[in-house]
């Protein structure tokens, strides 16, 4: 079954409508939206309300429904020294 979910870019307020299947994972949603906005997918987490949507969870497992809104939240890192490359 295909559902349509709104993904919000918290850093701009812009949104995309995304069609997905029950088997799609949260990682795929993050990658799709981050790619669209030219962002690094690994730097973001996804939330619906107060819940963290983990990368390996599927649409079915988290119970996403038609017209739900999820939000891409940045996961920043600050530091005095550079991490070892």
User: What residue ranges bind another protein (CB under 8 A)?
Assistant: 4, 10-21, 23-24, 28-29, 32-33, 36, 39-40, 43-45, 47, 49-52, 73-83
| Cα atoms in the 13 Å half-sphere on the side-chain side of 67 | 0
Query: Nearest approach, Cβ of 62 to another protein (angstroms)?
Result: 13
Query: Nearest approach, Cβ of 61 to another protein (angstroms)?
Result: 14
Tokens at residue 77, please? 């890192």
Query: Nearest approach, Cβ of 57 to another protein (angstroms)?
Result: 14
Are the C-beta atoms of residues 20 and 59 closer than 8 Å to each other? yes
- 3-state secondary structure (DSSP) of residue 34: helix
């Amino acid at each position: 079954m295909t559902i349509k979910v709104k993904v919000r870019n918290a850093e701009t307020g812009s949104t995309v409508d995304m069609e997905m299947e029950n088997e799609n994972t949260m990682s795929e949603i993050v990658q799709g939206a981050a790619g669209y906005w030219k962002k690094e997918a690994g730097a973001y987490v996804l939330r619906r309300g107060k819940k963290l949507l983990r990368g390996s969870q599927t649409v079915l497992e988290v119970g996403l429904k038609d017209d739900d809104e999820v939000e891409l939240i940045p996961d920043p890192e600050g530091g005095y020294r550079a991490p070892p490359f």
